[in-house]
Amino acid sequence: MARCPFCKEEINELKMEALEGKVGLVRLNEWDRIYFHAGRTYSGKETYYCPKCEALLPIHNEVEAEAFLRGLLRIVPKEDIPKKKGKLGQCFVDSEDRPYQVLRKEEEMLILRRAPKEVEMLYRELDERNKEQLEIIRLS
């Protein structure tokens, strides 16, 4: 289940806002009435909000929204990330010990996505002594 990074509530839907534009022809028909002949429609920038706290989420399209709701994409505020770093750096794992990698950084936000299978396998092969060299951040 996805969790809002701001209110920390579990959510199973997102509030989406998008402006839809129409391109077409306007003419007078045989009864002398105005008539709009639609050519094509297009949607502009999509914005996604948390349905509970109404906070704007750094999700830009439908694919990302789906990944977020499926738990494949995580949004972590930078303030939630501890400053402490391990000998070899930090890594993010979820409750099922699956590692994540950084997709992009956005204004005080870190957007993480599930690491590929190969990296997951390498992580699972690590023994306790080597895990101590990493600062493991558990994602809620």
User: Where do contacts with other proteins occur on this chain (CB under 8 A)?
Assistant: 86, 88-92, 99-102, 112, 115, 118-119, 122-123, 125-127, 129-131, 133-134
Structure tokens at 20: 């839809």
Least Cβ distance, residue 60 to other proteins (angstroms)? 19
Q: Which CB atom, from 41 or from 130, has the smaller least distance to other proteins?
A: 130
Residue 22 CA to chain centroid, in angstroms?
A: 28
Least Cβ distance, residue 63 to other proteins (angstroms)? 20
Q: Which CB atom, from 48 or from 92, has the smaller least distance to other proteins?
A: 92
Least Cβ distance, residue 137 to other proteins (angstroms)? 8
Structure tokens at 7: 């209110």
Which of 87, 90, 57, 96 has the alpha carbon at shortest distance from 74? 57
Do strands 134-138 and 89-93 pair parallel, antiparallel, or not at all (unpaired)?
parallel
Least Cβ distance, residue 31 to other proteins (angstroms)? 59
Q: Which CB atom, from 5 or from 99, has the smaller least distance to other proteins?
A: 99
Q: Which CB atom, from 54 or from 132, has the smaller least distance to other proteins?
A: 132
Structure tokens at 95: 């409750």
Residues contacting residue 39 through CB under 8 Å, at least 6 positions apart: 22, 23, 24, 25
